[in-house]
């Protein structure tokens, strides 16, 4: 059997096994199975050894190990290196390589949201927009990396300001705001914090001036629950909203493709699995 894993802590909530097992069946990879495993930090080394010994073929890494896994790896793919975030592991030519498929997963989602009229690979419709990123956790670096060269002004605010300032060392053009403050004009607001994972948690920033404006996009990386308070309030205000489901699927496509060389399709069935 070819075994694949998603590791994290906690891991019960992970929907990755549902998606990958569905695709493995759909593409007739009957010798493959994808499982979830809760690990502690001290167990990371063993995971790498299991990949080295080919007991495991591929691994997805989730919270809180996307950065902590890095010292155990032989090599980092360029995006993983630049964002210091790894969510996919694979053995290539006897080296355990860390990849970041969150970043292309988010970039593809941006292209779907803002298709370039001239068909360019990267959207140009973000030019001149103010993008407000909430959070400076593990995944935020991937989001900023994807947004960095789109011609938008990027504002970042995190409860622990120091972490946002750390990001600014790498992404020098971002503007760091105190938690609770916001840019006077926001075209796109992206929640990368974990606020909203638990029902009724909310972000206390006033966006009432955006009322009735369909051109304002409120985007939450959380996809479970499907509609966080952050998104519900935006919908009720009349703004455009999107949850993290598409990015989650897109990052999974990139991982599946790395491991199997197959680009799986997002069909109704796989979307139903997440609903």
Q: Name the residues that contact ligand ATR, by CB under 6 A.
A: 63-64, 135-139, 158-160, 163, 193-195
Nearest to 4 by CA among 67, 90, 76: 90
Rounded to the nearest 5°, which phi and psi values hold at 263?
-95, 105
Q: Which is nearer to ligand ATR, 85 or 260 (CB)?
A: 85
Catalytic residue, from 66, 118, 232, 272: name it: 66
Q: Pick between residue 137 and residue 151 the one whose CB is nearest to ligand ATR.
A: 137
Sheet with 88-92, edge to edge strand ranges:
32-38, 2-8, 58-61, 88-92, 95-99, 75-76
Q: Give just the sign of the alpha carbon dihedral 167, 169, 173, 176.
A: positive
CB of 135 to ligand ATR, least distance (A): 4
CB of 152 within 8 A of CB of 175?
no
Give a three-class secondary structure readout of 107-169.
HHHHHHHCCCCCCCCCCCCCCCCEEEEECCCCCHHHHHHHHCCCCCEEEEECCCHHHHHHHHH
Please, what's the largest Cα pairwise distance for the chain? 57
Shortest approach of ligand ATR to residue 40 CB, angstroms? 15
Please give the Cα distance from 217 to 213 (Å, whole number).
Answer: 9
Q: What is the smallest separation between the CB atom of 134 and ligand ATR, expressed in angstroms? A: 8
Q: In sequence order, what are the residues at sequence separation of 6 or more whose Cβ sits closer than 8 angstroms to the Cβ of residue 18?
A: 273, 274
Which is nearer to ligand ATR, 24 or 147 (by Cβ)?
A: 147
Alpha-carbon span 167 to 241, nearest angstrom: 26
Q: What are phi and psi of 132, to 5 degrees?
A: -110, 115
At its nearest, how many Å lie between ligand ATR and the CB of residue 217?
Answer: 20
Nearer to ligand ATR, 81 or 163 (CB): 163
Structure tokens at 124: 């140009």
Report the residue number, 24 or 154, with the smaller CB distance to ligand ATR: 154
Sheet strand arrangement including 175-177: 175-177, 153-157, 130-134, 188-191, 217-220, 240-242
To ligand ATR, the closest distance from the beta carbon of 119 in angstroms equals 35
Which CA distances in Å does 184 have to 61, 147, 216? 37, 20, 13
Q: Closer to ligand ATR by CB, 43 or 115: give it.
A: 43
Known active-site residue 226: no
Residue 254: CB minimum distance to ligand ATR, A: 20
Active site residue ranges: 66
């Amino acid at each position: 059997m070819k075994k694949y894993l998603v590791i994290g802590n906690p891991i019960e909530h992970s929907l990755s096994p549902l998606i990958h097992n569905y695709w493995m069946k759909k593409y007739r990879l009957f010798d493959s199975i994808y499982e979830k495993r809760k690990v502690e930090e001290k167990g990371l080394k063993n995971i790498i050894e299991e990949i080295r010994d080919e007991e495991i073929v591929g691994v997805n890494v989730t919270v809180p190990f996307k950065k902590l896994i890095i010292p155990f790896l032989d090599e980092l793919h360029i995006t993983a290196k630049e964002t210091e975030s790894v969510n996919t592991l694979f053995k290539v030519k006897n080296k355990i390589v860390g990849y970041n498929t969150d970043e292309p997963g988010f970039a593809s989602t941006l292209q779907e949201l803002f298709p370039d009229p001239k068909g360019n690979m990267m959207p140009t419709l973000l030019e001149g927009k103010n993008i407000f990123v909430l959070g400076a956790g593990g995944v935020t670096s991937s989001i900023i990396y994807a947004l960095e060269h789109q011609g938008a002004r990027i504002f970042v605010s995190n409860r622990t300001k120091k972490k946002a300032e750390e990001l600014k060392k790498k992404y020098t053009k971002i503007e760091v705001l105190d938690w609770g403050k916001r840019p006077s004009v926001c075209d796109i607001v992206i929640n990368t914090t974990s606020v909203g994972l638990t029902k009724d948690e909310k972000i206390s920033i006033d966006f009432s001036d955006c009322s009735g404006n369909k051109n304002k996009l409120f985007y939450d990386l959380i996809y479970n629950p499907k509609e966080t308070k952050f998104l519900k309030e935006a919908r009720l205000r009349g703004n455009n909203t999107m949850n993290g489901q598409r990015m989650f699927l897109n990052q999974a496509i990139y991982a599946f493709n790395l491991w199997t060389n197959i680009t799986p399709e997002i069909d109704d069935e796989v979307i139903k699995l997440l609903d």
